[in-house]
Amino acid sequence: MSRIFITGSADGLGQMAAQLLVKAGHSVVLHARNEQRAREALAAVHGAETAVSGDLASIKETVALAQKVNNLGLFDAVIHNAAVGYTEPRRIETVDGLSHVFAVNSLAPYILTALIHQPKRLVYLSSGLHRSGDASLKDLTWTDRRWDGFSAYADSKLHNVLLAFAVAREWLSVFSNALEPGWVATKMGGPGAPDSLADAPKTQVWLAISNEPRAMVSGEYFYHLQHRPFLPAAADPEVQEKFMTECARISGVQFPA
């Protein structure tokens, strides 16, 4: 039996992955942005161990969330599932003065990865849209650029791949991978999404618990349990390091070597 922590598991793919893991006999800790949502998550995933809360749009709350997770003990895997979508019509500024999309989708996974005790496996949910992301990493927080919600989301999904690959390079004892679940009919994806909703949570579950040799790898990118081409710049150590350095500067959280 494995013990897994899943961010953003009050609904959508995070909740679906949690249900699959619990059904398979694993111990799952859920996450939601506030206590009310955490209670709702527990009610929806019968058999989950517990749920913790923390608003990933806030650096302070994300740091506190990492401590809450560490207080629960060690985990075999962490699935970084939480994200906001590309429909924000304007730049929403967080309490820290950051773009909401960057804070939740990009910076929060970095902070949690840096501060949660190292698990055996790390799984990051990206998107096929990461291939449209800006690998120059200029103006990560969208302070100077004219706002474009679609591009901001694509950037953030590229950041998830950069983080997964950087961790794979730095932490050789950890399996760290990224995946795209497909465009599916969740609250974020919308009712017209064409991919299989039933298949969408399976790859992250597989990467978190499977003992198949194909799943026990690091620094790779998947779609529906198969390797998938990714933006080549994501494999560039210089681009990865630039992203990690900027996240450390913005958050004040240093990544442990």
Q: Which of 86, 157, 221, 223 is catalytic?
A: 157
- Asked if 110 is an active-site residue, the reply is no
Q: CA 118, 124, 129: angle at the middle one, nearest 5?
A: 160
Position of tokens 């059904």?
A: 23
Residues 6+ apart with CB under 8 A from 95: 57, 58, 60
Task: Report CA 131 to chain centroid distance, whole Å.
Answer: 17
Q: Hey, which residues does 3 pair with through a beta bridge? A: 27
Contact by Cβ (8 Å): 170, 255 = yes
- Asked if 153 is an active-site residue, the reply is yes
Two structure tokens written together for 147: 């706002």
DSSP 117-138: PP-SEEEEE--GGGGGS-TT-T
Q: How many angstroms separate the most distant Cα atoms in the chain? A: 48
Q: Which of 86, 110, 153, 223 is catalytic?
A: 153
Q: What is the DSSP letter of 236?
A: -
Q: Which residues are catalytic?
A: 153, 157
